[in-house]
Amino acid sequence: MSGEGSRRWTVIVVREGQVESRTVALSLRRAILAGVAALLLVAAVVFVAGKWVGDVASQETVAALEAEVSELQAENAALEVVGERIERLESEYRQLRGVMGGDLGSSGRDILLPPLSEEDASARRETGEDEESRFVWPVVERGFVTRVFGDTSSSPLGEHAGVDIAVPVGSYIRSTRDGVVVEVGEDPEYGQFVRVGHDEGLGSLYAHNSWLFVAVGDSVEMGEVIALSGNSGRSTAPHLHLEMERDGQPVDPLEYLAEGT
């Protein structure tokens, strides 16, 4: 650099490993401008690099937030399904509690046996031929028959295979005779149903229920409650659809129930 009081600056550039050098003379003004330009260049590089790093971080943050939102939406949808299921179960539970008069107790099946009428109790004590031929009415509330066996007036599918008994939803449905549960399930036509096999080649089916209390293989007694009436399946109003068969052939339930009504 120049001596004291000089207004010019001299820069000597020597390449590493070489003897020769270059001398560049700069005025103070040019030196200042060059320094300022260098600082601006460095600042620009730092700004661009910082912005790029910030953009990358922002994109990663947005992606993480979008993933979290999607996860929360999926969880919310699952919770809605669970909530609907709980509401339905609570509604069914309240209905059952109302039917049972409050506390369900701990022995689910025993408490579902309301006292038999004196007529039914007397029939249960009988022996001999009367006991063997005895049937009881399938609903605790007597209800009223809305369609009979063989009716074709309102069915495009042919003769009506059973008898329809109109009763409110939640009414006790009971086995017409001693037997064993051979089938339970839910069908588009019958809704929730129970099929019971009896002796002498007899069988009975109870359809359109709202609640079932028995399972396949359960032994049931005459008058034992096996379901609650409902409006499930192909049904236009709450009722019990009862079918009976002997040796696999449909028979008129009222011919058998007349003795027990």
Reported as a single tens digit per residue, the pLDDT across 140-187 is 876 788 888 877 665 555 677 888 888 888 889 999 999 999 999 999
Task: Examine the domain organization and report whether 247 and 125 are in the same domain.
Answer: yes
Task: Examine the domain organization and report whether 76 and 197 are in the same domain.
Answer: no
Range of the domain at 189: 110-257
Among 58, 80, 102, the domain boundary falls at 80
Q: Which tokens hold the place of 197?
A: 């096999």
18-38 pLDDT, tens digit per residue, is 667 677 666 767 777 777 777
150: alpha, beta or left, given left = phi > 0 and alpha = psi -120 to 50? left
Task: Examine the domain organization and report whether 116 and 241 are in the same domain.
Answer: yes
Task: Examine the domain organization and report whether 75 and 122 are in the same domain.
Answer: no
Task: Examine the domain organization and report whether 74 and 114 are in the same domain.
Answer: no
**Residues 229, 215: contact at Cβ < 8 Å?**
no
Q: Which pLDDT tens digits describe the chain residue by residue (261 residues)?
A: 444 445 666 767 667 766 676 776 667 677 777 777 778 787 777 777 777 777 777 777 778 888 888 888 888 888 787 777 777 666 666 655 554 444 444 333 433 344 445 555 454 444 344 555 578 889 887 678 888 887 766 555 567 788 888 888 888 999 999 999 999 999 998 999 999 999 989 999 999 999 999 999 999 999 899 999 998 988 888 899 999 999 989 998 888 886 444
Q: What is the pTM of this model?
A: 0.53
Mean pLDDT of the chain: 75
Residue 91 within any structural domain of the chain = no
Buried b (16+ CB within 10 A) or exposed e, 126-155: eeeeeeeebbbbbbbeebeeebebeeeeee
Number of domains in the chain: 2
Residue 104 within any structural domain of the chain = no
Residue 35 within any structural domain of the chain = yes
Task: Examine the domain organization and report whether 136 and 238 are in the same domain.
Answer: yes
Residue 2 within any structural domain of the chain = no
